[in-house]
Amino acid sequence: MTKFRDSKDANLVVGAVLLIAVMVVVSVAVDTWTGKSSQVTQVEELNVCSFNFSNGNTITVLVENNGTAASEIAEVWINNSRQAFTANATTIHPKDYVNLSITYVYSNGTNYHFKMTTEKGNTYLFTATTL
């Protein structure tokens, strides 16, 4: 066993051991904190791929989910008026599509402003013009 010449040598060794212990604790704490904060946030991102006006009273809208979270469309508005709609699926999974069918009497050559609101409260706007 090594003998220390004086208490100064012992203090240096104890100080070094304590410094290493503190650094290990701090690195574990930082690793834990960054691990939790770096989790990927899931987001909705809906895009209108196409729309079709037919029979003077039916609008079909193809919506794609380009986000990382599943989405559900809660409301559809046309020109600031809430509209009833049907869909071929209630949930739009990431990278998936859904067809919305809206019964709405429209006029050719007119611009229509659409607003879709999801269950999570996100709003998506687009404009379509009938031919």
Distance CA 83, CA 70 (A): 22
Hey, what are 118's tokens? Answer: 């999801």
One domain for residues 107 and 123:
yes
Dihedrals phi, psi of 119, to nearest 5 degrees: -60, -30
pLDDT in tens, 9-33: 777 788 888 888 888 888 888 777 7
- Same structural domain for residues 6 and 60? no
Tens of pLDDT, residue by residue over 90-122, are 899 999 999 999 999 999 889 999 999 999 999
User: Residue 17 to residues 23, 33, 64, 78: CA-CA distances in angstroms?
Assistant: 10, 25, 58, 70
| CB neighbourhood size of 71 (10 A) | 24
Contact 53, 106 (CB under 8 A): yes
Structural domain harbouring 95: 46-129
Say whether pLDDT at 56 is over 60: yes
Closest CA to 52 of 129, 118, 116: 129
73 and 93 inside one domain: yes
Q: Give how many domains the chain has, as a whole number.
A: 2
Quick one: 54 and 100 in the same domain? yes
Same domain, 54 and 16: no
Whether this prediction's pTM lies above 0.75 is answered by no
Q: What is the CATH number of the domain that holds 80?
A: 2.60.40.10
Residues 2 and 35 in one domain: yes
94 and 110 share a domain?
A: yes
